Structure 1
Amino acid sequence: MTTTTTYNISETMNSTVNFTGFPWAAEDPVYVIVRRTQTVLLPIIIVVGIIGNSLAVGSFLSKSLRKTSCCLYLGAKSVSDIGFLVSLFIFFLLRVHVTLLNHQGVCQVTVFLIYFCPFLSIWLVVVITFENCIRISQPALVSTICTTAVAKRVIVGYVVVGLVVYNFPFWTTRIVNGQCASATELEHIQRAFTYMDTFLTLVFPLIIMLILVPLVAISALSAFKRKKRLVQGQKRVKKNKKAAASPEAQVTRMLFAVSVVFFVLHTPSHAIRIKEMIIYMSYSKMPTYQDQIMQRIFELIYYLDFCVSLVVYLIFGRNFRKVFVKQYFQRCRGKSQSMPFVQNCSSSCADSEIFTKKARQ
């Protein structure tokens, strides 16, 4: 009989759900507490995340925001986050003995989404960071690069790459003895894809953002000082207020928030995955007790990234907040006046371009 490896309900990586490789897991009190905590918190994270991202999609695709490239990227990210949370919910159902996952078709699609959606979300964050860098450091390229046409092509490109790279669950995953599993003869293939996923969703994005974020910070600071000099030269009474509310400052705050959320919530889970991968490849050793405990904790932190996005947008995205309130809390007023602005969700495209023209004078 073929030996199989079933997918863990709380991991994006494949491992044994019955802990045959970790006989201590079922009885260790600390591990049991951590897993029970996961069981309680996961459905809350999933429900809040699906609702929050659905509301965010509605705002980003509204008439006043969908005209900007960044909002298209963030809208696509919200859809991707919903896909991940839905697949995570199907995995979670195994813990409450609902075996929806163990059906042909559902098994393959769910495992595919658990890989594909995080890949898409992470790289959309990277391209948003890159676009903000262009807006601040190379304003002359904004009209060429930061357009909805380019955004649509980039999003389609990411989707195509993701489909090509992460289609392996459709041919390595099957229903074996009533369980969603991958056969042992294909385990080496799946492990290779898992290692590749680690590089695609952590190493490469991390390196790129470590380069882009300092560039954005330096460029934003320079732009802010330049704007301040212009305002002072005009000798306006409200110069300090205008300087503080500059689009460049808004870009910096939003970018900083997105970057911090990305690093803080993603890095711990991926870091321990890299550690386990290196140890296994070098010494063929399984994860230690401490590593397993930490991995479960870091998984919860990782999952938070897919449900807190709406909060980040509302706190740091002034224009998004206005559109959100108008769309969901002011419908009773009927037709209101059209928005006097069409801005980037994290910054004002229009204001940035106006500022650029002034800076050139």
Structure 2
Amino acid sequence: MIQMADDYLAHLAGNINGLSDLNQTIIQGDGCVNSSINQSSEIPFFMDDPIYQATLKVEKYTLPVICVFGLLGNTLSSITFLKLPLRRAPCSLYLAVRGFSDNGFLLSLLLPWISSTFDLHLSQVKGVCQTIIFISYVCGCVSVWLCVFITFENFLLIHNPFTAGKVCCDCISKLSTVLLVLFALALYSISLRIMNGDCSPNQDLTELTQIFVYTDSLLTLVIPTVVISVLMAVIAYKVIHILQIRKIHSKLSKVIIRDNPSATVQKRILPIAKVTRMLFVVSFVFFALNVPSHVVRLRILIGTFTKGHSTTSVTMATIQSAFQILYYLSFSINVIVYATFGSNFRLVFRKIFCGYVLPTTSSQVQTEAINLVVQRRRRSMTENPSCAEARPIVSECDRSCHKS
């Protein structure tokens, strides 16, 4: 029973946000998955498949590497985003908090792995099992919705910088983050009630468990996936449109210089592209690594809901186990994305951890680039009084924060 609880703890922490483990499956000591609704008729059907066994072994040996690397990378990246000058940049607070949230989720994966590998039997310690599962639910939800916030702010920066000047500030970011964390803590406190001391589902609260599972799937799987998909599609369309305009301006500049060699044409830059590139890649990587696992989970969930019992096949379980590794990576490789696509992040990171001195010519941060876009649009729309009163993003946000 102790080994069963430890294995169930590891499985549930790893299949958070979508797969209805609380009332659909129990992990037995030999590793097979069985229905917990009719426990008298369970028969193992996964363990004899060699491909499924291979995916389980890959997951077992890659999980600690993913977790340790992610814990280190997320910690360093969060510290970097909280330091000046990145601290004043859009979405920095979301990215920093997301790093801590991802660490919480990775810890909820690593601790059960340690318990199972070294026979520590953490499930024997009162409250540890439920606490780990609770943390995995909360951190998984917070990470997903922080990515939604990041994508939404990126959409505003491209679509309407004037609105972004009012939304992309510390006050809104702090308030949104606090409300999100409080909501997640309140919602997932239900998991502490519907779990027994050995991490098995409370059979007296089966209906509440089902409502909880479907609500979690809707909030952390369906809605975020749809929202991020739509926003990323709009962002991609707007970026392509901007690049087309830039190409036209470049051709016009060449024509002017050809007809009048003595003329000087001001080079048009797109600072907003530098701002949004990293944020777009962050959203895209999260989306690409999460969607495969989410699709399989959603299919299992719909099949269970329509037929009233688990319909998971060996093939589906194998695919889900493989996609689960990609899902874990989405919480671990963020520092690589930031360092690869964020030039300002690299500069500040090297300054903090490598003693690198920032050159004065490279001290411009993302917020300054956005202000250039706002000012440019303001000059091009001087005939509109509402636009003429626009102010740089950072200044407006700072004033509102000081007033509050």
Same fold (TM over 0.5): yes
What corresponds to 1:264 in structure 2?
288
Q: Return closer, same or farther for 1:202/1:186 CA change in 2, 3 Å cut-off.
A: same
Superimposed CA distance per residue, residues 53-84 of structure 1 (whole angstroms, 9 cap, x where no aligned partner): 00100100002111234101111111110110
Q: Helix, strand or coil for the counterpart of 1:42?
A: helix
| Alignment partner, residue 389 of structure 2 | none
Kept in 2: contact 1:60–1:75 (CA 8 A): yes
Give the letter aligned to residue 136 of structure 1. Answer: I
Contiguous gaps of at least 5 residues in structure 2: 35-42, 257-262, 383-404
2:341 paired residue number: 316
Q: CA deviation at 1:222?
A: 3.7
How far apart are 1:20 and its partner, in Å?
5.4
Larger C-alpha radius of gyration, 1 or 2?
Answer: 2
1:313-332 per-residue CA deviation (whole Å, 9 max, x = no partner) reads 1111121121112211126x
- In the other structure, the counterpart of 1:16 is 26
Task: Tell me what 1:99 maps to.
Answer: 121
For 2:130, the aligned partner's letter is Q
CA distance in 1, matches of 2:276, 2:132: 37
Q: CA RMSD in A?
A: 2.7
Task: From 220, 227, 237, give the equivalent of 1:208.
Answer: 227
Q: CA deviation at 1:272?
A: 1.0
Which residue number in structure 2 is paired with residue 277 of structure 1? 301
Offset, 1:100: 2.1
Q: Deviations over 1:231-257 (max 9, x none)?
A: 766965783xx64xx223224532431
Question: Does the CA-based 8 Å contact 2:10-2:109 persist in structure 1?
Answer: no
Q: TM-score, normalised by structure 2?
A: 0.78
Check if 1:130 corresponds to 2:152: yes
- Give 1:146's aligned amino acid: C
Q: Residue 80 of structure 1 is aligned with which of 83, 101, 115?
A: 101
Matched AA of 1:11: N
Query: Per-residue displacement from partner, 1:206-251 (whole Å, max 9, x unpaired)?
Result: 2212222222223334444556667766965783xx64xx223224
SS in 2 for 1:181: coil
Question: Structure 1 stretches of 5 or more lacking a match?
Answer: none
Q: Which amino acid aligns with 1:198?
A: S
Partner of 2:365: 342
**What's the secondary structure of 1:27's corresponding residue?**
coil
2:148 maps to a residue whose letter is V
Aligned length: 347
* Pair 1:66–1:168, CA change in 2 (3 A): same
Alignment match, 2:168: 146
Out of 129-138 and 78-87, give the one that drifted further.
129-138
Written as runs of structure 1 = structure 2, the 5 A alignment for 1:42-61 is 42-61=63-82
Q: After superposition, where does 1:185-224 map in structure 2 within 5 Å?
A: 185-224=204-243
Contact 2:98 2:143 in 1 (8 A): yes
Aligned residue for 1:306, secondary structure, equals coil
Quick one: structure 1 residues 146 and 229, their matched pair in 2 at CA, closer, same or farther if it must change by over 3 Å? Answer: farther
* Residue identity in the other structure for 1:259: S
> What are the residue-to-residue correspondences of 1:348-359 with 2, within 5 Å?
348-359=369-380
Separation of aligned partners in 1, 2:265 and 2:361: 29
Specify whether residues 358 and 148 from structure 1 end up closer, same or farther in structure 2 by C-alpha distance, changes over 3 A only.
same
Structure 1 261/168 Cα, relative in aligned 2: closer, same or farther at 3 Å?
Answer: same
Query: Contact 1:45–1:304 (CA<8 Å) still a contact in 2?
Result: yes
* Secondary structure, aligned partner of 1:16: strand
Name the CA shift for 1:358/1:220 in 2 (closer, same or farther; >3 Å).
farther
My pick for the range that moved more, 23-32 or 62-71, is 23-32
Residue 305 of structure 1: aligned partner: 330
TM-score of the aligned structures, taking structure 1 as reference length:
0.87
Q: 1:95 to 1:36 in 2, by over 3 A?
A: farther
Query: How far apart are the structure 2 equivalents of 1:314 and 1:274?
Result: 33
- Confirm whether residue 249 of structure 1 aligns to residue 273 of structure 2: yes
